[in-house]
Amino acid sequence: MIDSRETQKKAFVIGTPIRHSRSPMIHGYWLKNFGIAGSYQAVEVQVADLDGFLGELRTSGEFQGGNVTIPHKERACALADEPDELAKELGAANTLWLDEGRLKATNTDGYGFAANLDERARGWDETSRAVILGAGGASRAIIQAVRDRGVSEIHVVNRTEARAQELADRFGARVYAHPMDALTEVMQGAGLFINTTSLGMDGEGSLDIDFTVMDAKAVVTDIVYVPLETPTLAQARAQGFTAVDGLGMLLHQAVPGFEKWFGRRPVVDETVRALVIADMDAH
């Protein structure tokens, strides 16, 4: 049954390119499930047009808010009237909403990452040592989430050590930077391994990683979800470790925004996961 009180609620995802975003599919599924006659649409916004889009968002009343993806996350955070502490530390926002005409912002990527592991590998945060491969933009929210869960040592390994050091400087004393040749050493006894790089994707070479030096109960995860079974995860499974794909991060990071825009908190279930996997298989 459609709730007529919800008919004016609209949300968006902006980025460029945006046509391949699966966010409209996810939010559309939840809208239908709740019987909300709202909408969630992908909007192509070029870099030069972002300031104008957000300015109009404040005044037009067309949207409740929306998601922000590449390449707008940093600028959206800077333009928001009230970015929260998570967004300010990251310097990036992926979720926007209006509150009495003021544009508020947060970043739910770290929440999505942690919620995915909570669902698929409960107890992942009980380790004292985590290893993060890669120091790109995606690493920031991951480091923040792992640190905020209380993991006492976070080792960031990257081809360019200076980029890893920038992250260590940003996130504090528990984060350590290393070059690639230190990977095996810092994996010793670790209970969590996170790949944030594109290694193994789109024809890129993959690393041959010996996960057996880690704790026997270690969890290995990859934030990439296309393909669902990345070379990193396949190697970990073959060596007997729990491996968690990155699709759940995409699904769970969408939950807080939906709740802010539409007033209901959705559940990430196997049906919405299967919906996205079917779409991935079709393309």
Q: For residue 186, what are the contacts with CB-CB under 8 A and spacing of at least 6?
A: 129, 131, 155, 157, 176, 178
Q: Which two tokens stand for residue 90?
A: 């990251």
Active site residue 260: no
Q: Which two tokens stand for residue 166?
A: 């920038």
- Measured from the Cβ of residue 259, the count of other Cβ atoms closer than 10 Å reads 14
Q: For residue 270, what are the contacts with CB-CB under 8 A and spacing of at least 6?
A: none
- Residue from 38, 5, 4 nearest 24 by CA: 38
Q: How many CA atoms lie within 13 A of 50 on its CB side?
A: 21
Q: Which two tokens stand for residue 228?
A: 């669902």
Question: Tokens 């880690």 label which residue?
Answer: 214
- Per the CB < 8 A criterion, the answer to whether 234 and 209 are in contact is no
* Single-letter residue type at 133: L
Helices (H), the chain: 23-34, 50-60, 73-79, 85-90, 109-120, 137-148, 161-171, 183-187, 231-238, 247-253, 255-262, 270-282
- Per the CB < 8 A criterion, the answer to whether 193 and 211 are in contact is yes
Dist. CA 251–CA 269, nearest whole Å: 9
Torsion of CA 40, 42, 48, 52, to 10 degrees: -20
- The single residue of 73, 104, 217, 260 carrying the catalytic annotation is 73
Dist. CA 231–CA 210, nearest whole Å: 13
Q: What residues are labeled active site?
A: 73
